[in-house]
Structure 1
Amino acid sequence: MSSAETDLLERDGAFPIQPSARGAKSHPDGTSRSRLLWRVIPGALILGTGIGMWLDVTPQTVGVLGLVMMLALMMIKLPVGVAMAVPGILGVWAILGWRSTEGVLSRMAFDNVASWSLTVLPMFVMMGMLLARSGITENLYTAARQWVGWLPGGLAVGTNIAGAGLASISGSTFGTAYALTRAGVPEMLKAGYDRRLAVGSVLAAGTLAHLIPPSLFMVIYAGIAEVPVGPQLMAGLVPGIVLMGMCCVVVIAIAVVRPSAVGSGQAKITATWAERLQSLVKIWPAPALMLVVVGGLFTGFFTATEVGAVGALGALLITLWVRRKDNAGKAVREALISTVSTMGALALLLVGAHVLSRFLSVSGLITDLVDVVAALGLGRVEFLLLLIVVYLVLGMFMDSLAMMLVTVPILLPVLETLGVDPIWFGVFIVIMCELAVITPPVGILAFVVHAIVQDKEVNLGTRITLGDVFKSVAVIVPVPLILIGLMIAFPDAVLWLASNTAAP
């Protein structure tokens, strides 16, 4: 999450576990005590686990203490990359000694961040940042609304389709949700939509962002799991489109069964064919760029790195053209600054994840986990169903990217013994991570949307509570879970596009 998004959340009191300073002044006894508790407990855990690593304990115990320390560091809001790296470094030091640790640290940062497979990452980040500032995102929503507005619940359906379009040009869950909330929620409320359906359609659209290429999560996962980036990106395309279709079907079903939720049929948007075609003229550069990206990957005409460079160049040209009369230079400069800032944060995350992975391997915890799974006799389906429950629980307390970085190194050896394809698992974990950003009590995306809809220009005077947001989440969550069930039953359907992606 960007610093701007974090500031937004803190300003609106979105972090429930850390009361605001204003709340502390109003209730000095309870709130101040609570804040002190949330500092003392993690501090005690960090100190205790740090000391425990150097006692006469087994490497496995050191591994467990390291994981507890990592969670405690996250509780005090230390950057996730640092929270993973610190216990990793201390753990390797405690088990192997300082000389081995020094050897690991001297190579790991460069070897992992300078990986050729990850060179696509800054290109995709730049592509999303440029297109977000080009102004084309609002036109995407307008076009989607004009083409499908005649359907029952057409505005909400259009929001989902626009979400898929925005996801394909930005790869950012928060960027997609922010744009759709500000553009879509006022229109739906104005048309008489139920506030929960309006918010729910935005949250559903936001879950598409990291499935449809270019997906930053997919690229990061490919780097951690050491799988080809191109096939991994293509593997998310079909599930992303299917998920969009399922969300649209749910919205239409709600509109048919309960017409009052969509303004009793008065919210249908009628547009002439001339208006529809004119809307396509305004957005054609975005789908054209996506055809180049997806087509280049699928045919093997471009490598993943080359297609990232082509996408970034195309986004630059689009931004310069669309903003040619509106300070294009400033838009490009802001996009480049944001790209550098984002890549610095991602690099720290990747280094931290690899340090933690090395520590867990040295401690023997991964080997023990494989042995435990083998002893339980769990098959592929049973283990994946168990993981769904585990990720839903983790998603209530951990950020989605942190959840991926922490669990993937632990699970990959286990999945290999169960015959789970790592590319298929990449799609599985990205869907679960997208669910993590909307499930309470943390559910960062739910808090972001709630904060945005407090703006009177967005809610149009309608009171939208956090309870309304979470009620809409309860309707959304089953949809991706049904998709995951289909993926488990028919894994080849997910891998078909990836397996047919031509090698460059």
Structure 2
Amino acid sequence: MSASAIGLTGIVALLILLMLRIPVAFAMFLVGFLGIWQLNGWNAAMSLLSSETFTLASNPELVVVPLFILMGNVASHTGMSRQLYDAAYAAIGQVRGGLASATVIGCGGFAALSGSSVASALTMGKVSLAQMDRFNYNPRLSTGCVAAGGTLGILIPPSTGFVIYAILTEQSIGRLFLAGVLPGILLLTAFVTTITLICWLRPEYGPGGPSTTFAEKTQAMVRALPILLTIMLTIGGIYAGFFSPVEASGVGAGIAILYGVVTRRLDLKTFWNACQDSIVTTATVMLILIAAHLVNPFLALSHIPSAVGDFLNAMDLGVTGTLLVILAIYLVLGCFLEGFAMLVLTLPIFFPVILDLGIDPIWFGVLAVLTLEMGLISPPVGINVFIVKSVAPNVDLGEIFRGVLPFWTAMVVTLILLVAFPQISLFLPDTMIN
């Protein structure tokens, strides 16, 4: 059997394992190890397994993963995310669709702390769905905005998706974080606009909530200051060049812990639970990254990436056409694969093509992560939809999928804008980091 045939067999086997719900890391470990064994021998496979595990695990840049995750978990346990939602609700909750817009804004703020789409959807779902149900919001709108708003967690920095992309492609985590700021704000604006249009066409979908006084608005804003200051110090510190992303993760986690201690909302038991959650999530991410560093050399040995590059070049679609084909493939794969699995599976194949075409890898990273987000609310996998379903068991799964459709369309429009205007993604990293 030729190297290319072994490579294709490995890819098919990996897809089958993922469809059978085998954990992503274990599926990639198995395929990568066996593939290298077949192509380069047992000793090479064993050597690569030991060396890559140690090299990756000792990479100091990966410290951002557990610290940012810890920051998000502590913020969730101490109620910082609820305070941001309350502030947004006090400001715009009285208008049509205001509660849904406040939920999306709350998801955006929590995303900037946790970097996790699943955590954003789960946390904000618990906080907001009961409120929207109390004010007779249509379940299609309420569940749809939570599922879609949760996807902001992987685009608005600090983003675990950007960290994984940076490690796999050897790009700057700081540049990727900055590149995600304006697209994240653009997508957040698109979601709020979508809610406004829905409630303009169907006023009964999002009736206005009770009015709040100026004093109540002020009090809610004051209570939200801790989370806003944490976001400003971590992301703003990177933007201003005061510290690196690794240092920013330590600062953010420290501020969240200090806030919990000062307000007496973080006792030893709560802190221990936050640490346990952070360890589990970090271990999952690390296993995926280590497994990806086995799959990558396997695919390189099989010559699959170069074959795909030759095929795309032979199609003579040009730079934009080839980019659109790759993004279209991502959209299709997103309907079946978990987001991180899609990144680690496709980047070794597509990234060399991107470099050969002269496409900016930071810009492509934003496009890839946004397309990955779309998979989080696309049937049949749509993990965020299932997360919301777990929080709202009385809402039919089909209703939730229909509810996310307008937001999915908003994401397509945002993706088109980012493809047409690369400056949206590249302005901050090009002006702030040389």
TM-score, with length taken from structure 1: 0.83
Work out which of the residue numbers 228, 233, 253 in structure 2 matches 1:312.
253
On the 8 A contact 1:392/1:435 being kept in 2, the answer is yes
> Which residues of 2 match residues 316-331 of structure 1 at below 5 A?
316-322=257-263, 324=264, 326=265, 328-331=267-270
Deviation at 1:436, TM superposition (A): 0.9
Work out which of the residue numbers 376, 401, 416 in structure 2 matches 1:437.
376
On the 8 A contact 1:146/1:269 being kept in 2, the answer is no
Deviation at 1:110, TM superposition (A): 1.1
1:187 aligns with 2:126: no
State the partner residue of 2:415: 484
State the partner residue of 1:375: 314
The verdict on how the C-alpha distance between 1:66 and 1:476 changes in structure 2, with shifts beyond 3 A counting, is: same
Larger Rg: 1
State the partner residue of 1:108: 52
State the partner residue of 2:427: 496
How far apart in 1 are the matches of 2:247 and 2:401?
A: 41
SS of 2:44 mapped into structure 1: helix
Work out which of the residue numbers 290, 298, 315 in structure 1 matches 2:231.
290
Count of paired positions: 434
Q: Deviations over 1:27-66 (max 9, x none)?
A: xxxxxxxxxxxxxxxxxxxxxxxxxxxxxx1111110111
On the 8 A contact 1:298/1:500 being kept in 2, the answer is no
State the partner residue of 1:392: 331
The verdict on how the C-alpha distance between 1:320 and 1:259 changes in structure 2, with shifts beyond 3 A counting, is: same
Which stretch of structure 1 is more off in the superposition, 231-240 or 107-116?
Answer: 107-116
State the partner residue of 1:277: 218
Work out which of the residue numbers 255, 270, 273 in structure 1 matches 2:199.
255
1:302 aligns with 2:243: yes
Deviation at 1:327, TM superposition (A): 5.8
The verdict on how the C-alpha distance between 1:258 and 1:78 changes in structure 2, with shifts beyond 3 A counting, is: closer
Which stretch of structure 1 is more off in the superposition, 379-388 or 359-368?
Answer: 379-388
Superposed structure 1 runs of 4+ greater than 3 Å apart? none
Structure 1 unaligned residues grouped into runs of 5+: 1-56, 455-462
How far apart in 2 are the matches of 1:251 and 1:192?
A: 15
SS of 1:301 mapped into structure 2: coil
On the 8 A contact 2:76/2:123 being kept in 1, the answer is no
State the partner residue of 1:417: 356
Amino acid at match of 1:494: S
Amino acid at match of 1:129: N
State the identity as a percent: 34
On the 8 A contact 1:151/1:252 being kept in 2, the answer is no
How far apart in 1 are the matches of 2:122 and 2:50?
A: 40
SS of 2:153 mapped into structure 1: coil
On the 8 A contact 1:293/1:311 being kept in 2, the answer is yes
Q: Deviations over 1:93-120 (max 9, x none)?
A: 1111223223322311111222222221
On the 8 A contact 2:75/2:256 being kept in 1, the answer is yes
Deviation at 1:257, TM superposition (A): 2.2
Question: Considering only aligned residues, what root-mean-square deviation do their CA atoms show, in Å?
Answer: 1.5
How far apart in 1 are the matches of 2:23 and 2:174?
A: 29
Which stretch of structure 1 is more off in the superposition, 492-501 or 378-387?
Answer: 378-387
The verdict on how the C-alpha distance between 1:341 and 1:262 changes in structure 2, with shifts beyond 3 A counting, is: closer
1:351 aligns with 2:351: no
1:196 aligns with 2:140: yes
Higher helix share: 2
